[in-house]
Amino acid sequence: MKNANEFYQVISHCEVNSRDDVFDLISEHVSQDSRFSSKKELVEQLKQRENAGDIQIAEHVLLPHIESPLLKQSQLLFLRLDRPLRTWNEHIENIELIIVVLLKENDELATKKRIRSLMKKLADEAFIIALLSAKNQATFQKELTEI
């Protein structure tokens, strides 16, 4: 199920069994407008970021993020997993929500501000719990109204 908002998309009922499945899903939903020569290139960048430092931001929640000149517009993807992903890597497990931040290089300040405000909210444990426990897409969307 997709959401029409051009800035962010909430994708519910994701069925993924591995880290690679997640990357496939991300590249599927990345805006058609990007200049990545291949899906592989985008995934490569995400992996590079992860190699530099962990992307887990809370129990059950991941935040893969990159900034790239190859993106034509900035994008947020909320991937809600129906069944938790048991293992992400050696020390990250039981993932239920993946928030993907794809930032166009040197994007306008207004966009960065919106992302920042989301990040501030993500620092709040109560907000994370609300996102994780949202029963349906509508409740989940409602939590995001501020961004």
Site of interaction with another protein (CB under 8 A):
49, 52-58, 63, 65-67, 101, 103, 112, 115-116, 119-120, 122-124
* Beta carbon nearer to another protein, 22 or 101: 101
Closest CB to another protein among 25 and 66? 66
What is the closest distance, in whole angstroms, from the C-beta atom of residue 135 to another protein in the complex? 25
Q: Which is nearer to another protein, 12 or 56 (CB)?
A: 56
141: CB partners within 8 A, 6+ apart: 3, 10
Residue with Cβ nearer another protein (123 or 129): 123
Name the phi and psi angles at 112, rounded to 5. Answer: -60, -35
Toward another protein, which CB reaches closer, 17 or 87? Answer: 87
Minimum CB–partner distance for residue 31 and another protein (Å):
17
Task: Using CB atoms within 10 Å of the CB of residue 95, give its burial: 0 to 12 exposed, 13 to 18 middle, 19+ buried.
Answer: buried
What is the closest distance, in whole angstroms, from the C-beta atom of residue 136 to another protein in the complex?
Answer: 26
Residue with tokens 């993500």: 122
CA distances from 48 to 12, 36, 39, 53, 142 (A): 26, 16, 14, 9, 33
Taking the complex as a whole, the smallest distance from the CB of residue 100 to another protein amounts, in Å, to: 10
What is the nearest approach in angstroms of another protein to the Cβ of residue 78?
15
Exposed / middle / buried, residue 111 (Cβ in 10 Å: 0-12, 13-18, 19+) = middle
